Structure 1
Protein backbone atom coordinates (compact mmCIF):
# COMPACT_ATOMS: atom_id res chain seq x y z
CA UNK A 1 0.00 0.00 0.00
CA UNK A 2 1.32 3.42 -0.93
CA UNK A 3 1.90 5.97 1.80
CA UNK A 4 0.44 9.45 1.43
CA UNK A 5 3.76 10.82 0.21
CA UNK A 6 4.07 8.00 -2.33
CA UNK A 7 0.61 8.40 -3.76
CA UNK A 8 0.40 10.16 -7.07
CA UNK A 9 -0.97 13.66 -6.93
CA UNK A 10 -4.41 14.03 -8.48
CA UNK A 11 -4.30 15.38 -12.00
CA UNK A 12 -4.99 19.10 -12.31
CA UNK A 13 -8.43 19.66 -13.75
CA UNK A 14 -8.17 21.98 -16.72
CA UNK A 15 -10.89 24.42 -17.57
CA UNK A 16 -12.36 24.45 -21.03
CA UNK A 17 -10.47 26.64 -23.47
CA UNK A 18 -12.70 28.84 -25.62
CA UNK A 19 -11.19 29.21 -29.10
CA UNK A 20 -12.27 32.40 -30.83
CA UNK A 21 -11.39 33.89 -34.18
CA UNK A 22 -10.31 37.46 -34.85
CA UNK A 23 -13.15 39.09 -36.77
CA UNK A 24 -11.91 42.66 -36.78
CA UNK A 25 -9.95 45.35 -34.99
CA UNK A 26 -10.26 49.11 -34.67
CA UNK A 27 -7.93 51.72 -33.19
CA UNK A 28 -10.30 53.71 -30.97
CA UNK A 29 -7.59 55.98 -29.53
CA UNK A 30 -3.84 56.31 -30.14
CA UNK A 31 -3.11 53.68 -27.48
CA UNK A 32 -6.28 51.61 -27.37
CA UNK A 33 -7.12 48.87 -29.86
CA UNK A 34 -10.52 47.16 -29.98
CA UNK A 35 -10.56 43.52 -31.08
CA UNK A 36 -13.70 41.67 -32.14
CA UNK A 37 -13.45 37.92 -31.43
CA UNK A 38 -16.11 35.33 -32.16
CA UNK A 39 -17.13 31.97 -33.52
CA UNK A 40 -18.20 28.56 -32.27
CA UNK A 41 -15.98 28.87 -29.22
CA UNK A 42 -18.26 31.61 -27.88
CA UNK A 43 -20.43 28.91 -26.32
CA UNK A 44 -17.48 27.72 -24.21
CA UNK A 45 -17.22 31.05 -22.41
CA UNK A 46 -18.77 31.36 -18.98
CA UNK A 47 -21.03 34.20 -20.05
CA UNK A 48 -22.02 36.47 -17.17
CA UNK A 49 -23.78 39.80 -16.82
CA UNK A 50 -21.18 41.67 -14.76
CA UNK A 51 -19.86 44.81 -16.51
CA UNK A 52 -16.38 43.92 -15.26
CA UNK A 53 -16.49 40.40 -16.77
CA UNK A 54 -13.00 39.37 -17.83
CA UNK A 55 -11.27 36.65 -19.82
CA UNK A 56 -7.73 35.30 -19.66
CA UNK A 57 -6.05 35.06 -23.05
CA UNK A 58 -3.57 32.23 -23.65
CA UNK A 59 -0.81 33.59 -25.88
CA UNK A 60 1.91 31.24 -27.05
CA UNK A 61 5.22 32.48 -28.42
CA UNK A 62 4.82 32.41 -32.24
CA UNK A 63 8.25 30.78 -32.46
CA UNK A 64 6.98 27.76 -30.48
CA UNK A 65 4.79 26.58 -33.35
CA UNK A 66 1.97 25.83 -30.89
CA UNK A 67 -1.64 26.31 -31.94
CA UNK A 68 -4.72 26.40 -29.72
CA UNK A 69 -6.19 24.53 -28.01
CA UNK A 70 -3.12 23.87 -25.90
CA UNK A 71 -2.25 20.71 -23.97
CA UNK A 72 -1.35 22.72 -20.89
CA UNK A 73 -0.79 19.83 -18.49
CA UNK A 74 1.51 18.11 -20.96
CA UNK A 75 3.45 21.34 -21.50
CA UNK A 76 3.84 21.83 -17.74
CA UNK A 77 5.43 18.42 -17.47
CA UNK A 78 7.57 18.35 -20.59
CA UNK A 79 8.19 21.91 -21.79
CA UNK A 80 7.15 24.52 -19.23
CA UNK A 81 9.13 27.17 -21.10
CA UNK A 82 6.59 26.85 -23.94
CA UNK A 83 3.52 27.45 -21.78
CA UNK A 84 1.38 30.26 -23.24
CA UNK A 85 1.43 33.55 -21.38
CA UNK A 86 -1.84 34.47 -19.66
CA UNK A 87 -3.16 38.00 -19.97
CA UNK A 88 -6.38 39.32 -18.42
CA UNK A 89 -8.81 41.60 -20.27
CA UNK A 90 -12.25 42.96 -19.49
CA UNK A 91 -14.95 42.12 -22.03
CA UNK A 92 -16.01 45.50 -23.33
CA UNK A 93 -19.12 44.15 -25.00
CA UNK A 94 -20.93 40.81 -25.46
CA UNK A 95 -22.96 40.13 -28.59
CA UNK A 96 -24.97 36.96 -28.08
CA UNK A 97 -26.67 37.21 -31.45
CA UNK A 98 -23.40 37.36 -33.38
CA UNK A 99 -21.65 35.17 -30.78
CA UNK A 100 -18.74 37.51 -30.36
CA UNK A 101 -17.03 39.72 -27.81
CA UNK A 102 -15.05 42.94 -27.94
CA UNK A 103 -11.80 43.44 -26.03
CA UNK A 104 -10.01 46.76 -25.66
CA UNK A 105 -6.22 46.32 -25.49
CA UNK A 106 -3.90 49.08 -24.31
CA UNK A 107 -0.92 49.33 -26.67
CA UNK A 108 2.53 49.75 -25.13
CA UNK A 109 5.88 50.79 -26.56
CA UNK A 110 6.57 51.25 -30.24
CA UNK A 111 6.76 47.69 -31.53
CA UNK A 112 10.46 47.27 -30.90
CA UNK A 113 10.50 44.27 -28.58
CA UNK A 114 10.66 43.69 -24.85
CA UNK A 115 9.11 47.00 -23.80
CA UNK A 116 5.95 46.00 -25.65
CA UNK A 117 3.55 43.73 -23.79
CA UNK A 118 2.92 40.19 -25.03
CA UNK A 119 -0.79 40.89 -25.51
CA UNK A 120 -0.13 44.35 -26.93
CA UNK A 121 2.14 42.91 -29.63
CA UNK A 122 -0.28 40.08 -30.35
CA UNK A 123 -3.25 42.45 -30.69
CA UNK A 124 -1.35 44.89 -32.89
CA UNK A 125 -0.28 42.07 -35.25
CA UNK A 126 -3.54 40.09 -35.20
CA UNK A 127 -5.28 39.55 -38.53
CA UNK A 128 -8.84 38.42 -39.33
CA UNK A 129 -8.95 34.65 -39.17
CA UNK A 130 -6.28 34.34 -36.47
CA UNK A 131 -7.43 32.25 -33.51
CA UNK A 132 -6.84 32.73 -29.79
CA UNK A 133 -7.57 30.56 -26.75
CA UNK A 134 -8.98 31.95 -23.54
CA UNK A 135 -10.55 31.08 -20.20
CA UNK A 136 -13.47 32.94 -18.72
CA UNK A 137 -15.36 34.81 -17.97
CA UNK A 138 -14.84 35.95 -14.38
CA UNK A 139 -16.12 39.14 -12.80
CA UNK A 140 -18.14 40.30 -9.82
CA UNK A 141 -19.07 43.99 -9.94
CA UNK A 142 -22.47 45.28 -11.04
CA UNK A 143 -23.99 48.72 -10.27
CA UNK A 144 -26.80 47.94 -7.82
CA UNK A 145 -30.33 49.20 -8.45
CA UNK A 146 -30.60 50.52 -4.89
CA UNK A 147 -27.40 52.56 -5.12
CA UNK A 148 -27.94 56.25 -4.29
CA UNK A 149 -24.48 57.37 -5.34
CA UNK A 150 -21.91 55.69 -7.59
CA UNK A 151 -18.18 56.33 -7.39
CA UNK A 152 -16.04 54.76 -10.11
CA UNK A 153 -12.26 55.19 -10.06
CA UNK A 154 -10.02 53.77 -12.77
CA UNK A 155 -7.29 54.20 -15.34
CA UNK A 156 -6.64 53.10 -18.92
CA UNK A 157 -6.87 49.41 -18.02
CA UNK A 158 -10.21 49.92 -16.25
CA UNK A 159 -11.82 51.93 -19.06
CA UNK A 160 -13.74 48.95 -20.56
CA UNK A 161 -15.25 48.00 -17.19
CA UNK A 162 -16.17 51.60 -16.40
CA UNK A 163 -17.70 52.19 -19.84
CA UNK A 164 -19.74 48.99 -19.61
CA UNK A 165 -20.88 49.89 -16.08
CA UNK A 166 -22.06 53.33 -17.14
CA UNK A 167 -24.10 51.77 -19.93
CA UNK A 168 -26.10 49.58 -17.56
CA UNK A 169 -26.87 52.29 -15.00
CA UNK A 170 -30.42 53.66 -14.94
CA UNK A 171 -30.94 57.10 -16.48
CA UNK A 172 -31.52 58.61 -13.02
CA UNK A 173 -28.21 57.36 -11.60
CA UNK A 174 -26.07 59.84 -9.65
CA UNK A 175 -22.38 59.85 -8.88
CA UNK A 176 -18.84 60.55 -10.02
CA UNK A 177 -16.36 58.84 -12.33
CA UNK A 178 -12.66 59.69 -12.06
CA UNK A 179 -10.33 58.24 -14.71
CA UNK A 180 -6.57 58.67 -14.90
CA UNK A 181 -4.81 58.67 -18.28
CA UNK A 182 -1.20 59.36 -19.19
CA UNK A 183 -2.16 61.15 -22.41
CA UNK A 184 -4.94 63.62 -23.20
CA UNK A 185 -5.49 62.20 -26.68
CA UNK A 186 -6.60 58.85 -25.25
CA UNK A 187 -9.84 60.25 -23.85
CA UNK A 188 -12.97 58.51 -25.11
CA UNK A 189 -16.52 59.69 -25.47
CA UNK A 190 -18.34 57.62 -22.86
CA UNK A 191 -22.12 57.49 -22.66
CA UNK A 192 -23.23 58.12 -19.08
CA UNK A 193 -26.32 59.23 -17.12
CA UNK A 194 -26.72 63.00 -16.81
CA UNK A 195 -26.42 62.78 -13.05
CA UNK A 196 -23.01 61.09 -13.20
CA UNK A 197 -20.08 63.50 -13.45
CA UNK A 198 -17.21 62.24 -15.62
CA UNK A 199 -13.75 63.63 -14.82
CA UNK A 200 -10.45 62.85 -16.56
CA UNK A 201 -7.16 63.24 -14.69
CA UNK A 202 -4.29 63.52 -17.16
CA UNK A 203 -0.63 63.01 -16.25
CA UNK A 204 0.44 62.26 -12.69
CA UNK A 205 -1.38 59.52 -10.77
CA UNK A 206 -1.04 61.81 -7.76
CA UNK A 207 -3.83 63.91 -9.24
CA UNK A 208 -6.20 60.94 -9.12
CA UNK A 209 -5.45 60.28 -5.46
CA UNK A 210 -5.86 63.98 -4.62
CA UNK A 211 -9.14 64.19 -6.53
CA UNK A 212 -10.61 61.23 -4.64
CA UNK A 213 -9.35 62.61 -1.30
CA UNK A 214 -11.07 65.92 -2.06
CA UNK A 215 -14.52 64.31 -2.46
CA UNK A 216 -17.07 64.56 0.33
CA UNK A 217 -17.55 60.90 1.19
CA UNK A 218 -18.99 61.41 4.66
CA UNK A 219 -22.41 59.98 3.71
CA UNK A 220 -21.96 56.23 3.21
CA UNK A 221 -25.61 55.31 2.90
CA UNK A 222 -26.36 53.94 -0.55
CA UNK A 223 -22.79 54.54 -1.75
CA UNK A 224 -21.21 51.95 -4.08
CA UNK A 225 -17.55 52.23 -5.09
CA UNK A 226 -15.60 50.66 -7.96
CA UNK A 227 -11.84 51.27 -7.70
CA UNK A 228 -9.39 49.41 -9.96
CA UNK A 229 -6.10 51.02 -10.97
CA UNK A 230 -2.34 50.41 -10.77
CA UNK A 231 -1.29 48.52 -7.61
CA UNK A 232 0.62 51.26 -5.82
CA UNK A 233 -2.13 53.78 -6.54
CA UNK A 234 -4.80 51.27 -5.47
CA UNK A 235 -3.14 50.87 -2.07
CA UNK A 236 -3.16 54.64 -1.55
CA UNK A 237 -6.76 54.91 -2.68
CA UNK A 238 -7.80 52.15 -0.31
CA UNK A 239 -6.41 54.20 2.58
CA UNK A 240 -8.38 57.23 1.38
CA UNK A 241 -11.63 55.29 0.95
CA UNK A 242 -11.53 52.87 3.87
CA UNK A 243 -9.30 54.38 6.54
CA UNK A 244 -9.81 58.10 5.95
CA UNK A 245 -13.40 58.22 4.65
CA UNK A 246 -14.52 55.18 6.67
CA UNK A 247 -16.52 53.61 3.84
CA UNK A 248 -17.51 50.03 4.79
CA UNK A 249 -15.34 47.56 2.88
CA UNK A 250 -18.44 45.67 1.74
CA UNK A 251 -19.48 48.70 -0.33
CA UNK A 252 -16.23 48.83 -2.30
CA UNK A 253 -15.05 46.73 -5.24
CA UNK A 254 -11.30 47.30 -5.15
CA UNK A 255 -8.25 45.55 -6.54
CA UNK A 256 -5.24 46.33 -8.69
CA UNK A 257 -5.56 45.60 -12.40
CA UNK A 258 -1.80 45.87 -12.93
CA UNK A 259 1.46 46.94 -11.28
CA UNK A 260 4.01 49.45 -12.50
CA UNK A 261 7.15 47.74 -13.79
CA UNK A 262 5.63 44.25 -13.68
CA UNK A 263 4.45 41.93 -16.43
CA UNK A 264 1.26 40.06 -15.53
CA UNK A 265 3.06 36.85 -14.56
CA UNK A 266 5.01 38.72 -11.87
CA UNK A 267 1.97 40.75 -10.88
CA UNK A 268 -0.20 37.66 -10.36
CA UNK A 269 2.53 35.79 -8.45
CA UNK A 270 3.05 38.76 -6.12
CA UNK A 271 -0.63 38.73 -5.10
CA UNK A 272 0.33 35.94 -2.69
CA UNK A 273 3.13 38.03 -1.17
CA UNK A 274 3.04 41.09 1.12
CA UNK A 275 3.94 43.42 -1.77
CA UNK A 276 0.83 42.33 -3.65
CA UNK A 277 -1.66 42.80 -0.82
CA UNK A 278 -4.18 45.62 -1.18
CA UNK A 279 -5.91 45.22 2.20
CA UNK A 280 -3.62 45.85 5.14
Structure 2
Protein backbone atom coordinates (compact mmCIF):
# COMPACT_ATOMS: atom_id res chain seq x y z
CA UNK A 1 0.00 0.00 0.00
CA UNK A 2 1.37 3.41 -0.93
CA UNK A 3 2.05 5.81 1.89
CA UNK A 4 -0.21 8.83 2.18
CA UNK A 5 1.54 12.08 1.36
CA UNK A 6 2.74 14.19 4.27
CA UNK A 7 0.43 16.95 5.42
CA UNK A 8 1.66 20.52 5.14
CA UNK A 9 0.87 22.13 8.51
CA UNK A 10 1.88 25.34 10.24
CA UNK A 11 2.62 26.34 13.81
CA UNK A 12 -0.42 27.81 15.57
CA UNK A 13 1.05 28.11 19.06
CA UNK A 14 4.03 27.13 21.22
CA UNK A 15 3.68 26.82 25.01
CA UNK A 16 6.15 25.82 27.73
CA UNK A 17 4.50 23.20 29.95
CA UNK A 18 7.50 22.69 32.22
CA UNK A 19 11.27 23.27 32.22
CA UNK A 20 11.75 20.36 29.81
CA UNK A 21 8.49 20.11 27.87
CA UNK A 22 6.96 22.32 25.19
CA UNK A 23 3.54 21.96 23.60
CA UNK A 24 3.10 22.81 19.93
CA UNK A 25 -0.28 23.08 18.24
CA UNK A 26 -0.14 22.64 14.47
CA UNK A 27 -2.92 23.59 12.11
CA UNK A 28 -3.83 23.14 8.46
CA UNK A 29 -6.70 22.25 6.15
CA UNK A 30 -5.16 18.83 5.50
CA UNK A 31 -6.13 17.85 9.07
CA UNK A 32 -9.78 17.75 7.99
CA UNK A 33 -9.40 14.00 7.35
CA UNK A 34 -7.02 13.23 10.23
CA UNK A 35 -8.65 10.28 12.05
CA UNK A 36 -10.16 10.86 15.48
CA UNK A 37 -9.14 9.09 18.69
CA UNK A 38 -5.40 9.13 17.99
CA UNK A 39 -4.04 10.12 21.42
CA UNK A 40 -0.95 7.89 22.10
CA UNK A 41 -0.42 7.25 18.36
CA UNK A 42 2.60 8.77 16.66
CA UNK A 43 3.15 11.10 13.76
CA UNK A 44 6.41 11.76 11.96
CA UNK A 45 7.73 15.26 11.45
CA UNK A 46 9.68 15.52 8.21
CA UNK A 47 12.79 17.70 7.91
CA UNK A 48 15.30 18.54 5.18
CA UNK A 49 18.48 16.47 5.19
CA UNK A 50 21.42 18.62 4.00
CA UNK A 51 23.68 15.56 3.75
CA UNK A 52 21.22 13.57 1.60
CA UNK A 53 18.54 15.88 0.15
CA UNK A 54 16.81 12.94 -1.51
CA UNK A 55 16.26 11.27 1.88
CA UNK A 56 14.47 13.60 4.35
CA UNK A 57 14.90 13.07 8.08
CA UNK A 58 11.88 11.95 10.08
CA UNK A 59 11.26 12.10 13.82
CA UNK A 60 8.38 10.43 15.64
CA UNK A 61 6.25 12.22 18.22
CA UNK A 62 3.20 11.19 20.21
CA UNK A 63 -0.18 12.67 19.36
CA UNK A 64 -1.54 14.48 22.41
CA UNK A 65 -4.84 15.35 20.74
CA UNK A 66 -6.35 16.17 17.36
CA UNK A 67 -9.45 18.05 16.28
CA UNK A 68 -10.75 17.69 12.73
CA UNK A 69 -13.24 20.53 13.04
CA UNK A 70 -10.73 23.02 14.46
CA UNK A 71 -7.97 21.54 12.28
CA UNK A 72 -5.58 21.26 15.22
CA UNK A 73 -2.89 18.67 16.01
CA UNK A 74 -1.21 18.90 19.42
CA UNK A 75 2.28 17.49 20.09
CA UNK A 76 4.44 17.71 23.22
CA UNK A 77 8.23 17.92 22.81
CA UNK A 78 10.77 16.91 25.47
CA UNK A 79 13.56 19.49 25.27
CA UNK A 80 16.95 20.51 26.66
CA UNK A 81 17.90 17.20 28.24
CA UNK A 82 17.96 14.35 25.70
CA UNK A 83 21.36 13.89 24.03
CA UNK A 84 23.89 16.71 23.85
CA UNK A 85 23.78 17.14 20.05
CA UNK A 86 20.55 18.70 18.86
CA UNK A 87 18.74 16.74 16.20
CA UNK A 88 16.62 18.19 13.39
CA UNK A 89 13.42 18.37 15.47
CA UNK A 90 15.13 20.15 18.36
CA UNK A 91 16.75 22.63 15.98
CA UNK A 92 13.43 23.25 14.27
CA UNK A 93 11.62 23.79 17.56
CA UNK A 94 14.29 26.15 18.87
CA UNK A 95 13.81 28.46 15.90
CA UNK A 96 10.10 27.88 15.27
CA UNK A 97 7.73 30.83 15.03
CA UNK A 98 3.97 31.11 14.66
CA UNK A 99 3.06 30.40 11.06
CA UNK A 100 6.17 28.35 10.23
CA UNK A 101 5.43 25.34 8.00
CA UNK A 102 6.26 21.73 8.82
CA UNK A 103 5.54 18.43 7.07
CA UNK A 104 3.77 15.75 9.13
CA UNK A 105 2.99 12.16 8.11
CA UNK A 106 0.87 9.56 9.86
CA UNK A 107 -0.65 8.75 12.25
CA UNK A 108 0.70 5.36 13.16
CA UNK A 109 -1.18 2.96 15.48
CA UNK A 110 -2.24 3.93 19.00
CA UNK A 111 -0.30 2.51 21.97
CA UNK A 112 -2.99 1.78 24.53
CA UNK A 113 -3.29 -0.62 27.46
CA UNK A 114 -5.71 -3.53 27.49
CA UNK A 115 -8.59 -2.26 29.61
CA UNK A 116 -9.55 -5.84 30.49
CA UNK A 117 -6.44 -6.25 32.67
CA UNK A 118 -6.90 -6.62 36.42
CA UNK A 119 -4.40 -3.84 37.15
CA UNK A 120 -1.94 -1.62 35.34
CA UNK A 121 1.72 -0.68 35.45
CA UNK A 122 2.82 2.27 33.30
CA UNK A 123 6.34 3.59 33.32
CA UNK A 124 8.52 5.88 31.23
CA UNK A 125 10.58 9.03 31.08
CA UNK A 126 9.57 12.49 29.89
CA UNK A 127 9.41 11.36 26.25
CA UNK A 128 6.70 8.86 27.20
CA UNK A 129 4.58 11.19 29.34
CA UNK A 130 2.15 12.16 26.53
CA UNK A 131 1.35 8.51 25.79
CA UNK A 132 1.11 7.57 29.47
CA UNK A 133 -1.21 10.52 30.06
CA UNK A 134 -3.43 9.31 27.19
CA UNK A 135 -3.57 5.84 28.75
CA UNK A 136 -4.45 7.12 32.20
CA UNK A 137 -7.26 9.21 30.73
CA UNK A 138 -9.00 6.14 29.25
CA UNK A 139 -8.82 4.01 32.41
CA UNK A 140 -12.11 3.10 34.06
CA UNK A 141 -12.84 4.68 37.43
CA UNK A 142 -12.19 1.37 39.23
CA UNK A 143 -8.72 0.87 37.70
CA UNK A 144 -5.85 0.02 40.04
CA UNK A 145 -2.10 0.10 39.60
CA UNK A 146 0.89 2.37 39.28
CA UNK A 147 2.38 4.99 37.00
CA UNK A 148 6.12 5.36 37.62
CA UNK A 149 7.38 8.45 35.83
CA UNK A 150 11.00 9.57 35.45
CA UNK A 151 11.55 13.30 34.99
CA UNK A 152 14.66 15.53 35.04
CA UNK A 153 13.26 18.01 37.59
CA UNK A 154 10.35 18.06 40.02
CA UNK A 155 8.82 20.99 38.15
CA UNK A 156 8.38 18.69 35.15
CA UNK A 157 5.43 17.16 36.99
CA UNK A 158 3.50 20.04 35.44
CA UNK A 159 3.94 18.40 32.03
CA UNK A 160 1.58 15.59 33.06
CA UNK A 161 -1.30 18.09 33.14
CA UNK A 162 -3.94 15.60 34.29
CA UNK A 163 -7.21 16.64 35.84
CA UNK A 164 -7.47 15.09 39.30
CA UNK A 165 -10.83 13.63 38.31
CA UNK A 166 -9.22 11.69 35.43
CA UNK A 167 -6.87 9.73 37.71
CA UNK A 168 -8.61 6.66 39.15
CA UNK A 169 -8.40 6.55 42.93
CA UNK A 170 -6.67 3.19 42.73
CA UNK A 171 -3.85 4.45 40.46
CA UNK A 172 -0.77 5.66 42.33
CA UNK A 173 1.50 8.18 40.56
CA UNK A 174 5.16 7.79 41.54
CA UNK A 175 7.76 10.35 40.43
CA UNK A 176 11.42 9.45 39.99
CA UNK A 177 13.80 12.42 39.60
CA UNK A 178 16.79 11.88 37.33
CA UNK A 179 18.61 15.10 36.36
CA UNK A 180 20.74 13.15 33.87
CA UNK A 181 18.32 11.35 31.52
CA UNK A 182 19.72 8.21 29.97
CA UNK A 183 22.07 7.61 32.85
CA UNK A 184 21.24 5.33 35.79
CA UNK A 185 19.45 2.91 33.51
CA UNK A 186 18.30 0.86 36.50
CA UNK A 187 16.19 3.63 38.10
CA UNK A 188 12.83 2.69 36.63
CA UNK A 189 13.49 -1.03 36.93
CA UNK A 190 14.32 -0.68 40.63
CA UNK A 191 11.25 1.46 41.23
CA UNK A 192 9.06 -1.18 39.58
CA UNK A 193 10.70 -3.98 41.52
CA UNK A 194 9.77 -2.31 44.80
CA UNK A 195 6.07 -2.05 44.01
CA UNK A 196 3.65 -4.43 45.75
CA UNK A 197 1.94 -6.79 43.34
CA UNK A 198 -1.83 -6.55 43.19
CA UNK A 199 -4.24 -9.45 42.73
CA UNK A 200 -4.80 -10.75 39.22
CA UNK A 201 -2.96 -10.16 35.97
CA UNK A 202 -1.44 -6.76 35.10
CA UNK A 203 -0.90 -4.96 31.82
CA UNK A 204 2.57 -3.43 31.60
CA UNK A 205 3.24 -0.31 29.48
CA UNK A 206 6.86 0.93 29.35
CA UNK A 207 8.75 3.36 27.13
CA UNK A 208 11.99 5.20 27.78
CA UNK A 209 15.67 5.25 26.77
CA UNK A 210 16.75 1.97 25.16
CA UNK A 211 19.06 0.73 27.92
CA UNK A 212 16.48 1.57 30.57
CA UNK A 213 13.71 -0.37 28.85
CA UNK A 214 16.04 -3.33 28.32
CA UNK A 215 16.50 -3.39 32.10
CA UNK A 216 12.71 -3.31 32.52
CA UNK A 217 12.10 -6.01 29.90
CA UNK A 218 14.69 -8.36 31.40
CA UNK A 219 13.22 -7.84 34.89
CA UNK A 220 9.68 -8.48 33.62
CA UNK A 221 10.86 -11.71 31.98
CA UNK A 222 12.64 -12.88 35.13
CA UNK A 223 9.62 -12.14 37.29
CA UNK A 224 7.13 -13.48 34.72
CA UNK A 225 5.14 -10.34 35.48
CA UNK A 226 3.34 -10.04 32.15
CA UNK A 227 3.36 -12.18 28.98
CA UNK A 228 4.05 -10.53 25.63
CA UNK A 229 0.32 -10.26 24.98
CA UNK A 230 -0.08 -8.15 28.12
CA UNK A 231 2.67 -5.61 27.64
CA UNK A 232 3.97 -2.81 25.49
CA UNK A 233 7.71 -2.18 25.83
CA UNK A 234 9.47 0.22 23.49
CA UNK A 235 12.42 2.61 23.40
CA UNK A 236 11.90 6.17 22.23
CA UNK A 237 15.55 7.22 22.14
CA UNK A 238 19.10 6.14 23.05
CA UNK A 239 21.70 8.11 24.93
CA UNK A 240 24.49 9.36 22.66
CA UNK A 241 22.97 8.20 19.38
CA UNK A 242 20.95 9.99 16.68
CA UNK A 243 17.52 8.56 15.92
CA UNK A 244 18.64 6.59 12.86
CA UNK A 245 21.32 4.72 14.83
CA UNK A 246 18.94 4.22 17.76
CA UNK A 247 16.43 2.51 15.49
CA UNK A 248 19.06 0.01 14.38
CA UNK A 249 19.97 -0.76 18.00
CA UNK A 250 16.30 -1.02 18.91
CA UNK A 251 15.64 -3.62 16.23
CA UNK A 252 18.71 -5.63 17.21
CA UNK A 253 18.44 -5.49 20.99
CA UNK A 254 14.83 -4.96 21.98
CA UNK A 255 13.34 -7.61 19.70
CA UNK A 256 15.91 -10.30 20.46
Whether TM-score is above 0.5 comes out as: yes
Contact kept, 8 Å, 1:86 with 1:265, in 2: the verdict is no
Contact kept, 8 Å, 1:19 with 1:42, in 2: the verdict is no
Give the C-alpha shift of residue 81 in structure 1.
4.1
Structure 1's unaligned 5+ residue stretches are 1-11, 65-78
> Distance in 2 between the 1:279 and 1:135 partners?
25
Partner of 1:115: 85
Q: 1:154 aligned to 2:143?
A: no
Q: 1:215 aligned to 2:212?
A: no
Partner of 2:109: 139
Partner of 1:178: 148
Give the C-alpha shift of residue 137 in structure 1.
0.5
Contact kept, 8 Å, 2:111 with 2:131, in 1: the verdict is no
Partner of 2:207: 228
Partner of 1:265: 244
Partner of 2:39: 51
* 1:172-218 CA distance string (max 9 Å, x none): 22110001112222222433222211011002443321111122347
Give the C-alpha shift of residue 14 in structure 1.
4.5
Give the C-alpha shift of residue 268 in structure 1.
1.9
Q: 1:190 aligns with which of 143, 156, 162?
A: 162
Asked which structure has the greater CA Rg, the reply is 1
Contact kept, 8 Å, 1:217 with 1:245, in 2: the verdict is no
Partner of 2:134: 164
> Distance in 2 between the 1:131 and 1:30 partners?
25
Contact kept, 8 Å, 2:32 with 2:68, in 1: the verdict is no
Distance 1:260 1:44, change over 3 A: farther
Q: How many residues align?
A: 245
> Distance in 1 between the 2:32 and 2:146 partners?
36
> Distance in 1 between the 2:254 and 2:36 partners?
26
Distance 1:44 1:153, change over 3 A: same
Determine which structure has the larger strand proportion and give its number: 2
Tell me the TM-score normalized by structure 1: 0.79
Contact kept, 8 Å, 1:48 with 1:137, in 2: the verdict is no
Tell me the TM-score normalized by structure 2: 0.86
DSSP 3-state at the match of 1:211: helix
Distance 1:248 1:217, change over 3 A: farther
